[in-house]
Amino acid sequence: MSLQRKPSIVFVHGLWADGSCFSKLIPTLQNEGFEVIASQHGLDSYASDVNCVKRTLGRVSNPAVLVGHSYGGSVITAGGTDPRVAALVYVAAFAPDADETTQSLQEKFPATDIFSHIEVADGRIWLKRDGVSSFAGDLPEEEQELVWATHAAPVADLFTQKVEGTAWRSKPSWYVVATKDRTIQPELERFVAKRMGATVFETDSSHVPMLSQPDFVLDVIRRAATAVQKNKAA
């Protein structure tokens, strides 16, 4: 099927990351004829991150599949109400409802051990070096070192900010639950996936299945894209 008829794929990263965290997915999707781009939002504010995603949507063809990892799930929940978005894919991600913040959603579940490995300095939340194993513990040591060396620190109050929009209430959703996640509670992931009525896939992964199990995540993205194509053709 031609590039013009396939949905675009827009990736949305979370904390301690940038668009390169999807580097194991992007080349494969491009080779399969998908138009792909990653939002490079700065984690400076929830509103600015959502606006960055919307600007990124303007650089690709419609319809688009938004793929959000971790806090990126909150971003696609708000930004996904954009009419250019046809589907949502959540990867070990938050998905707050209209009356929730990312923080209030997180507080419904026991804290994970990542919180013992962070430091607030200069108004940002930094990942300590010994926290990489809680974040990406199933990656080879060399890859874990790269994750730490390139991590992007969010503004300290990012999780308490709010932006209107709950896209999963109106857009079809797919969800990857990381059952060995030590950054977001797997039970939180199951809860939001069930609440949104997502098509759910579980895998024994750390918080970064797009890096540790890229083929698994690619398959879920392909399923979402195929559903969009079928709906468009109907």
The arrangement of secondary structure in 3-233, i.e. its CATH architecture, is 3-Layer(aba) Sandwich (3.40)
pLDDT in the model for residue 2: 43
- Cβ–Cβ under 8 Å, residues 45 and 26: no
Mean of the pLDDT values across residues 23-48?
98
- Cβ–Cβ under 8 Å, residues 91 and 68: yes
Mean of the pLDDT values across residues 201-223?
98
Residue 3: pLDDT above 50? no
pTM for the full predicted model: 0.96
Q: Which two tokens stand for residue 196?
A: 């949104």
Please provide the DSSP assignment of 114-157 as one string.
GGGSEEEETTEEEEPGGGHHHHHTTS-HHHHHHHHHT--PPBTT
pLDDT in the model for residue 62: 79
Q: What pLDDT digit, counting tens, does each position of 149-184 carry? A: 999 999 999 999 999 999 999 999 999 999 999 999
pLDDT in the model for residue 5: 81
Residue 17: pLDDT above 70? yes
Give the domain ranges of the chain. Answer: 3-233
Mean of the pLDDT values across residues 21-34?
97
Q: What pLDDT digit, counting tens, does each position of 69-90 carry? A: 999 999 999 999 999 999 999 9
